[in-house]
Amino acid sequence: MVAFRGNYSAGTIVVRTGERRLYYVIGEGRAIRYPVGVGRASKQWTGTSYIDGKYVQPAWSPPADVKRDNPRLPSVIPGGSPRNPMGAAAMTLSGGEYAIHGTNAPGSVGGFVSYGCFRMYNADITDLFGRVSVGTTVVVTR
């Protein structure tokens, strides 16, 4: 747990892309801090969303822009496959193709590496997954 500044309700997820950190606000100026991989310079976004789905070892279908940049990717990579970039779990965000998810490339956590998703170590996404529910607010800032 870390001290946390910001006017957010307990139970809110705050992603600060410039810090490459995700905070789960627990209240009273405290939060649980996790390192995350965030969007590349041209793929970052800010705003408020919410978790609209939770999945353990989800299958992954590359979004159109990922497929365009990597045409050899299969249309679907099964959940649990070592080639699946979603890792141990994923929580999808409303309003787009973004998620907070684990990774099969732990060295990418902490970097500007994604197409807009937030990558976490598999142990960290497993921990956060157990703490939040569908409907949890997610605020993304720079």
Active site residues per annotation: 101, 117
Buried b (16+ CB within 10 A) or exposed e, 9-20: eeebbbbbbeeb
Longest Cα–Cα distance in the chain: 49
CA distances for 29 relative to 6, 11, 20, 66, angstroms: 8, 12, 20, 38
